Structure 1
Amino acid sequence: MVINAQESSGTALILAAAPVGKGRLIDAASVLPALAAVPPGAFTGTAAATLIELADALDPQAVLTRVRAAVAAPGPLVFYITGQLHLDHKQRLPHLALARTTPSTLRYTALPWHWIASELKLRKPGTTTVVVDLVADADTWRQLTGDRSVLPLGYGIRLYGRIAPAPGRRTVAEPAYLKAWASIWRSGARPPLAALHDQAAAQTGGEGVLLLAVDAPPPAGSPAAPDLSGPAPVSGPAPDPLPEILGAAEAGRHREAAAAAAAWEQEALRAYGPGSPQAIHWLEVRADLARLAQDPAVSCELWMAAAEARLARRQAPDNPDVESAVDRAHHQWEHLRDPERARALAPTLIALRRRVPGRQRRALQALQLRLESLHTTTAGTN
């Protein structure tokens, strides 16, 4: 369901998902009727808003596409998430279970948390808020209580929420925390998000749960907090002209943004050398700027270059950053409407897909089928 207010000035994305059947730990979708009675602008704290609702989603790639669309929208973004968390057995990374998720298919049917973090971290600091009402299985709960950075989002993103341990056997939890938000809004009150968090936490109880409250980023000019969604910080000059570059892109000044990012990439190459984390960072920024400029061919090329650079640094093919780069390259290639350009980029992408199959088991097959279709279409026009 998508509700468009007449003059949108903010975006709210609501993701309520949990497995169907006995694997369900929380009735995530039960919050939707309560939220449906809330005016869209209340979700973002703006006069008007676009509201996007994803209920019991099936496919992680489809969810990722909707997240990307919301991330690209101008104005503030508030992302509401309710569901259940699990760790994959191989990398011990948190995933949000979707409707078809089972313990044996987690890596392919659940939404990796680092996918969410990767999408959100390129937004301008201070424009994004994440609100969570989650249940964690026993394994994830142990890791969460030992290290809360297991759910990183990065610098400049507000985070409010409640995470509870899984309920007892044959018991399904409810998203009481977000229901409390809805109840407060339906009363006509519009407190700031931090106050909403405090009120909802008081109503639902804080004993035996994790309450999360990461407020606004530091004022401009203060030292940047470390980005916990990526590799450990490296020494060197202070980052993040990034907000100004993203601001130019959001204003439609795509050439200006791309030129600035390219200049910073050259500076990173001179200071740290080819293949350095700093150079790869700016390569990936350029790739996403090309996406924002609706140039999928350039974006695909740059994401492939970023993936190859990470592999050259001996990052494993199942490293989240490597998988993300190849997934993004593939996603941009799928958006190409120029058959010749798509065919030209396909061999490199296929070679990457063979090395980095990713979490979608049929990704390589889908790529090859589309390439065959492109060849058939071209043959038919000659």
Structure 2
Amino acid sequence: MNILVVGNGGREHAIAWRLAGSPGVKVFITKGNGGTGSVAQAIDVSPLDIDAIIEATKLHGIDLVVVGPEAPLAAGLIDRLDLAGVAAFGPVAAAAKIEASKAFAHEIMDAAQVPCAKSWTFDNVGQAINHLETCDLPVVIKADGLAAGKGVVIAQTRQEALDTANSFLVDRKFGDSGATLVVEEFLVGEEASFMVLTDGEAILPLDGARDHKRIFDGDQGPNTGGMGAYSPTPLLDEAAQGQILKTIIKPVLAELKRRGITYKGVLYAGLMFTDAGPKVLEFNCRFGDPETQPLLYRLRGDLAEIMMAVAHGRLSEVSFSFDPRPAVCVVMSSGGYPDTPKTGDVITGLDDASRIPDTRVFHSGTKLSSDGATITSGGRVLAVTSIGTSMQEARETAYKAVKTIHFNDMHYRTDIAAIKP
């Protein structure tokens, strides 16, 4: 079976790695990165070039396309693959809108009576300013559209809130993605990520995870795509998962279906566990990055079989479980991230890190130079992931591997999995 993974980050490296471990599977990947060559054959196609991806499926006899990032999903890649008769893992554009538009997600949640933060939507800067001048602080301000995980600001002061509204709506910091603003009440509690697989009928939960979005230790500094993650989390025990399936996941999927939208693929709920119970912070239409890295390290099952079952509406026929041992992922980023990441620096120590037991180094923003060296090519560079008999052992192993790796101006948080959930 030939499988094409669309995307070239750490999440896609982890997916390709697990798919390559399935019997009889050959993995292809769009563009690839400096680390994917050992598990997948790279094809020179952009993850956003839908026409070229369709052609590549014909050229390489692709049996299944697995889409990693949100942008191709929102652009309708799955719709086009369906028309071409190619099996695909991921939601159609109408379903992916639950991530591509925060306002749409709130519309769905309100209709489904799903617990979430109160929200207000603005596309007029004057109206936004009027609201922000009197609302409670802190306040959460989000770009409505896709912004690579960086379109969320938690404004602590009135001035920061007003400046953020102007930067989104007037200065167009995120272009059209920020042309509409979603303002949310600030929720207090503990965060966790809960993902489920669905083929449009059956729903199978994945184990829980927690990511660390802020750039600095102690959850300080601006939001990023994610600086680390761990799985499992005590917040998402069996009882909590059952409650969330009943009160959040199933009502949302049912509301989408009521509107004629069948959701297939993975649905990610970013949750805040408040005193009043779990509430939705966001929905994503794809696997989380970096939560996928520790989750897939712990997965016990044939990922190719599972994803093919989702694509063909046979999810009820497969089963999987998770290694009870915890896994921890530490992201190493380049200098200047998340604003203006520095690139082109040589990375050393990767071989030493890969020799550490129970550890995988997943590549994100890396590429091979003309002389064969691995160099940085993006903001999030590596996702060092380890598994252990305890969370403490897993994080100690991950940081041991991190400390063998070096590149100029590298940055990583030192408290991943140390902040108690």
Fold shared per TM-score above 0.5: no
Tell me which protein shows more strand as a share of its residues. 2
TM norm structure 1: 0.30
TM norm structure 2: 0.28
* Greater length-normalized contact order (CA 8 Å, ≥ 6 residues apart): 2
Tell me which protein shows more helix as a share of its residues. 1
